[in-house]
Structure 1
Amino acid sequence: MDLDGKVALVTGAAHRVGKAIALALAGEGAHIVVHYGGSVDAAHATADEIEALGVEALPVQADLSQPETINQLFEAVEARFGRLDVLVNSASNFMKQPLDVVGLDDWQITMAINLQAPFLCTQRAAPLMRAVERPADQPALIVNITDLAGLYPWRSFVQHGVSKAGLVHLTKVSARELAPAIRVNAIAPGPVLPPAYMDPDGEAWQRVYAAVPLQRAGKPEHVAQTVVFLAQNDFITGAVIPVDGGESLLGAANH
């Protein structure tokens, strides 16, 4: 897919990995819907950076745990652009809790954000994507940002890991059901950013990235580059691509 003039919706685009993805797609000429939850100032700052690249940016607030606000998000996309070519489900929460202390509320909010929301966004995106006439060899694209915790049983990331494992399977099911008009792929990042609870200059974060085969931390831009690659390579669907410095080679042993 040539991204020039296309429309991409990136959830969680106000900061961190989502912002890097939004900027990378904008750099290829795509107009960007900047979804955000509560980070209004960061979202508008990201929108300003996107517009400085010569494309349009539409910041839209939505609580992804609420189906009705997801509907409003897609109504805003349709009203402004009338089309959607790329959806990146990047928004996520990241709770670290041992299994025996996970409360029902903790479980439900994680599933709502990490799994239910990508499912509902995929459902809403599909008809909007199919409504656009496009060459058969240039289908629309959905990219789910999953996690290595969804591939391996990490300790103390119970609901997070289960939600991301579900997202991996949702990716594959969606890829089969939505083909050939829409491709669906996933990216499983490794240590490209420290989690919010970890000091980026601390020893704990250094131990995390030093343990992977490449022995260094990645950057959000590495994930963003992979999203652009998936948009431009029209013969990949149902794939789960690790962008992790080789961490996936270690399996569950690294956590």
Structure 2
Amino acid sequence: MRLKGKTALVAGAGRNVGRTIALTFAREGADLILVARKLGDELKQVAKECESIGVQVLPMLADVGNYEEVNHVVQSGLERFGKVDVLMNVVGIRRNKLPWEFSYEEWHHIFAVNAHSTFYLVKALAPGMIERKSGSIIAMGGHSALTCSTPYTAALAASKHALYGLIKGLAQAFGPYGVRANLLSLANIETKVLDPESYIVRGPRGEIIHTGTQLDPSTTEEENKRRSPLGRLGTQQEVANAALFLASDESSYITGDRMVCAGGVYM
């Protein structure tokens, strides 16, 4: 088992890709700290499924965009397990608006979740990783970490660009201590849209002027399948397999990099 003897903190573990990653890590032997902001029942179910595999699990409800809650989560995890070897931050939010339409609060909240959360988690975990001279930090990104696909995704793109920059800086800073940091980008993946409203753009009278799904905002599922040379959508398990590789010692010479799981959509 590739994560036997390790403890992993998975933020955003309640549903979708985060849930699949948690279960994959459990099957590979990792004890788990599972974090979700809401979804209490779902998180308990994920924890129960992971425990049934034979690993220890600490489920916690927390907003990782709030550093005080992050500090509480990490402290509780260290008290339970004594260490955290792997950080997997899956959390991310979006709001489709033109840049000047955001309130200050909305803009800051998007950055808190999409970029600051990884900083908060890393800051709390850094002393232990540095002392042990080992660790793997993985943050979830997307193509928005490299470009801005529409005028309505400026906040998403800006926050994910910031996250990618942070990952590169962490790789530089942690390198001498044997700790790695990488970005895992995904696109064209089968997921359930948890907040459909966040993909909708409304006009000044509240009318819908742009809508979409968690895939491409203007295309159907069949069209999205054709975007990939493989002719299909990716699965959550395929994303989890990539996360497992980055979490394990098999990727011991990969740091400061971006792994793309998108079926060739962005070649």
* TM-score normalised according to structure 1 size: 0.89
Gaps of 5+ in 1: 250-255
Q: Give 1:40's aligned residue.
A: 40
Task: Judge conservation of contact 2:130–2:174 (CA < 8 Å) in 1.
Answer: no
Residues 172-187 of structure 1 mapped to structure 2, 5 A cutoff: 172-180=168-176, 181-187=178-184
Matched AA of 2:165: H
Matched AA of 1:65: G
Q: Give 2:240's aligned residue.
A: 224
Q: Give 1:246's aligned residue.
A: 264
Q: Give 1:211's aligned residue.
A: 227
Once residues 219 and 92 of structure 2 are traced to their aligned partners in structure 1, the CA distance between those partners, rounded to angstroms, is 25
Q: Give 2:189's aligned residue.
A: 192
Q: Give 1:167's aligned residue.
A: 163
Once residues 153 and 113 of structure 1 are traced to their aligned partners in structure 2, the CA distance between those partners, rounded to angstroms, is 18
Task: Judge conservation of contact 1:32–1:58 (CA < 8 Å) in 2.
Answer: yes
Task: Judge conservation of contact 1:218–1:244 (CA < 8 Å) in 2.
Answer: yes
Once residues 183 and 213 of structure 2 are traced to their aligned partners in structure 1, the CA distance between those partners, rounded to angstroms, is 28
Deviation per CA, 1:132-155: give whole Å up to 9, x if none. 3x6xxxx31000111111111111
SS in 1 for 2:53: coil
Q: Give 1:252's aligned residue.
A: none
Deviation per CA, 1:1-35: give whole Å up to 9, x if none. 94102100000011111111111111110001110
CA distance 1:124–1:17, shift in 2 (3 Å): same
Once residues 146 and 231 of structure 2 are traced to their aligned partners in structure 1, the CA distance between those partners, rounded to angstroms, is 21
Matched AA of 1:234: S
SS in 1 for 2:84: coil
CA drift of 1:215 comes to 2.7
**Poorly superposed stretches of 4+, deviation over 6 Å:** none
Matched AA of 1:237: T
CA drift of 1:203 comes to 6.0
Residues 152-163 of structure 1 mapped to structure 2, 5 A cutoff: 152-155=147-150, 156-163=152-159
Once residues 61 and 237 of structure 2 are traced to their aligned partners in structure 1, the CA distance between those partners, rounded to angstroms, is 24
Gaps of 5+ in 2: 197-211
CA drift of 1:105 comes to 2.1
Out of 110, 122, 144, the residue aligned to residue 139 of structure 2 is: 144
Deviation per CA, 1:111-131: give whole Å up to 9, x if none. 000001111111111112233
Task: Judge conservation of contact 2:180–2:255 (CA < 8 Å) in 1.
Answer: yes
CA drift of 1:55 comes to 0.5
SS in 2 for 1:164: helix
SS in 2 for 1:241: strand
Q: Give 1:112's aligned residue.
A: 112
* RMSD of aligned residue pairs (Cα, Å): 2.1
Once residues 219 and 157 of structure 2 are traced to their aligned partners in structure 1, the CA distance between those partners, rounded to angstroms, is 24
Once residues 14 and 23 of structure 2 are traced to their aligned partners in structure 1, the CA distance between those partners, rounded to angstroms, is 10
Deviation per CA, 1:27-46: give whole Å up to 9, x if none. 11000111010110000000
SS in 2 for 1:59: strand
CA drift of 1:87 comes to 0.3
Matched AA of 1:216: R
Task: Judge conservation of contact 2:182–2:257 (CA < 8 Å) in 1.
Answer: yes
CA distance 1:8–1:147, shift in 2 (3 Å): same
Identity of matched residues, %: 28
Q: Give 2:251's aligned residue.
A: 233
* TM-score normalised according to structure 2 size: 0.85
